[in-house]
Amino acid sequence: MNSLEKLERLKAILINLDGLAIAFSGGVDSSFLLKVAHEVLGEKVIAVTARSCSFPERELNEAVGFARKYGIKHLIVDSEELDIEGFAENPRNRCYMCKKELFSKIITIADEYQLMNIAEGSNLDDLGDYRPGMQAIEELGVLSPLREASLTKEEIRELSLRLGLKTWDKPSFACLASRFPYGEKITLEKLVMVDRAEQYLLDKGIRQVRVRHHGDVARIETGEDGWEKLMKPDLRTEVYAEFRTIGFVYVALDLIGYRTGSMNESMASESR
């Protein structure tokens, strides 16, 4: 089945839903899902975005702009993860705790608007990594239409380009809490450090980047274009100085580069 056939399958899945509230981060996947759902369901679909200290303001602003551009009803709900009991200790099921709290709030909103269904934007590729948040999605009966239609990330980008969505080549993003090794306490101060560091690199033209927080050490993950930029001595000096100002003592560049779920790699090594 090619991507266009999968798009038609997605539309067939959505057309049978009696109203839909979509957890909308403004990323590639949820933007694509929201746009297609709005085309199919019209006013019977709303977008809900969580505002929290682990969700950068730039991402929130982009989500707001996307919904406004396409005339989609958009609600913003405060969902402060650090207020969830046990979350700050950063256990391995941290994502489960966050998703359970967020989707419980979205369910309440859906009930208020008399919408019968809740959906999120995970795709087929997301099944290949450790994602405890999926358990919360299943427990609460949240739909995953992109996975149900067997759409991969690459196909979603391709179809987004066909639909004229500016998000088609947007770099992947995950909440800032994912920048910390499991067991390292997450605080507002540390989240601000990571946010400032990543924003600085983005402003320098490094599009795909993660700054992993390892105590005094900032470990930068980036793609080949980022590597080329960071190999320039002047920029390396600037980055080091800025990161010191932010609060890091050491700055490291990961030799493997950017990849999703790198903090889960320690779990694999522990199992050996």
Q: Are 166 and 138 in contact (CB under 8 A)?
A: no
Mutual orientation of helices 28-41 and 153-162 as an angle, nearest 10°? Answer: 50
Instruction: Identify whether the C-beta of residue 101 lies closer than 8 Å to the C-beta of residue 94.
Output: no
pLDDT score for 126: 81
Record the tokens describing residue 138, joined without a space.
């299943």
Catalytic residue among 53, 95, 98, 175: 175
3-class SS at 121? Answer: coil
Pairing of strands 250-253, 45-51: unpaired
pLDDT at 152 (0 to 100): 96
15: helix, strand or coil? helix
- Structure confidence at residue 264 (pLDDT): 66
Domains, in order of start, for the chain: 3-167 (3.40.50.620), 176-271 (3.30.300)
* Residue 98 appears among annotated catalytic residues: no
Specify whether the backbone of 216 is left (phi greater than 0), alpha (psi in -120 to 50) or beta.
alpha
Which one-letter DSSP state was computed for residue 149? T
Q: What is the pTM of this model?
A: 0.91
Give the separation between CA 31 and CA 34, rounded to whole angstroms.
5
So what's the pLDDT on residue 267? 55
Q: Each residue's pLDDT tens digit in the chain (272 positions)? A: 899 999 999 999 999 898 999 999 999 999 999 999 999 999 999 999 999 999 999 999 999 999 999 999 999 999 888 889 999 999 999 989 989 999 999 999 999 999 999 999 999 988 766 677 788 889 989 999 999 999 999 999 999 999 999 999 999 888 999 999 999 999 999 999 999 999 999 999 999 999 999 999 999 999 999 999 999 999 999 999 999 999 999 999 999 999 876 666 665 445 44
